[in-house]
Amino acid sequence: RIKRTAISAEPAQHKKSKDLRVVLQAFDKSDRTKEFLCDAILNNDFMKNLEMDQIMSIVDCMYPLEHKDGSLIIKEGDVGNLVYIMEEGTVEVSKNSKVLTTMGPGRVFGELAILYNCTRTASIKALSNCKLWAVDRQTFQAIMMRAGMQKQTEHLELLKNIKTFESLREDILSKVSDAVDQVSYADGECIVRQGAKGDSFYIVAKGRVQITQAKSKWDTPVYVRHLERGDSFGEAALQSEETRPFNVIADDPNGVTCLVLDRQSYREMIADELSRLKRDESVRYARKATTFISGEDERDL
Ligand code: CMP
């Protein structure tokens, strides 16, 4: 029987292993090259929003690679294993045999199949000898995953130190740390506006925010207080479906970062759990009182 194997323009992916077990291998490169690769990533629409430490890890793990004039670097429809950055040369991008564009130094390509787990969306052919840098899928995904887990651990540490959450079990806080979005605000940016409907609950993770409040629509808001890392706000409007009772404005020259939880997650993970704990506490208290009145030993309960 003939064994059919897919023909790919790229080297095959190594044996699958758990992404976290991938040993990240750094390749030596000059500071100038690192800066060049970093700028290329920051100029790519699909990668520019990665965290800076993720970008630096990708840059560290990129290795040099050359393709001869006329060679097919990426074949449309392939599974795809590498993300490339062009250092020298020109490539042609085509889809369904139609040329879309040409690209030169400083351009990232091959990112879509790796970022979105799809097959190659276009073919890329070298129009000259090309000097490239590449990183493989496993390394790329391991960097993404590690950064995600580090973030989750950081979030969990912050949540554990919040007074309102001190009665919540760690597994619940762990779920919350998975569900929050990390959002950044520039100095002076309004995070919550008085009178607006509220859909989110916020925890300050970095920087300071200022609370202001106006007596009426026509009054100028006046300063109430500052909140810092570990403080939270926004729960009132989520619980009672009322509008926001105050303004919250980012007040930090280095910007503010908040962990943001949507209304439904807040209700399911936090509000319901806190009311259940409160209910249990009242039942325990009532039992204790009954025991005390009847003279039973409370240890029998
Ligand atoms: P990927 O789909 O992994 O492999 C083919 C690459 O071609 C793709 O990632 C992009 O980097 C690039 N590409 C796809 N479409 C275009 C386009 N219209 N213009 C420029 N580059 C493209």
Identify which of 83, 94, 112, 120 to mutate to test ligand 1's pocket (most ligand atoms within 8 A of the CB). 112
Q: Answer whether 111 contacts ligand 1 (Cβ < 6 A).
A: yes
pLDDT at 2: 38
Q: Answer whether 208 contacts ligand 1 (Cβ < 6 A).
A: no
| Signed CA dihedral, 280, 281, 286, 291: sign only | positive
Threshold 0.90, pTM exceeds? no
Q: Answer whether 120 contacts ligand 1 (Cβ < 6 A).
A: yes
pLDDT at 64: 97
Q: Answer whether 122 contacts ligand 1 (Cβ < 6 A).
A: yes
Q: Whose CA is nearest to atom 1 of ligand 1?
A: 110
Could you report the average pLDDT of every consecutive run of 10 residues in the chain (301 residues)? 49 51 88 98 92 93 97 96 98 97 98 93 98 96 85 91 87 90 94 92 96 92 96 85 90 96 88 81 72 61 44
ipTM higher than 0.90? yes
Distance (Å) from CA 137 to ligand 1 centroid = 16
Distance CA 259, CA 262 (A): 10
Q: Whose CA is nearest to atom 14 of ligand 1?
A: 122
Residues in the chain: 301
pLDDT at 11: 63
Is the separation of the CB atoms in 211 and 226 below 8 Å? yes
pLDDT at 178: 86
pLDDT at 8: 60
Q: Answer whether 121 contacts ligand 1 (Cβ < 6 A).
A: yes
The pair phi, psi for residue 284, each rounded to 5°, is -60, -40
Distance (Å) from CA 121 to ligand 1 centroid = 6
Q: Answer whether 99 contacts ligand 1 (Cβ < 6 A).
A: no
pLDDT at 292: 67
List the end-to-end C-alpha distance of the chain, in Å, as a whole number. Answer: 73
Q: Whose CA is nearest to atom 17 of ligand 1?
A: 100
Distance CA 9, CA 29 (A): 26
Token couple for 1: 């029987």
Tally Cβ neighbours within 10 Å of residue 143: 24
pLDDT at 9: 66
Identify which of 76, 124, 136 to mutate to test ligand 1's pocket (most ligand atoms within 8 A of the CB). 124
Q: Answer whether 124 contacts ligand 1 (Cβ < 6 A).
A: yes
Distance CA 74, CA 67 (A): 11
| Exposure b/e, 184-223, CB count within 10 A at least 16 = b | ebeeeeebbebeeebebbbbbbbbbbbbbeeeeeeeebee
The pair phi, psi for residue 293, each rounded to 5°, is -65, -45
pLDDT at 10: 67
Q: Whose CA is nearest to atom 9 of ligand 1?
A: 110
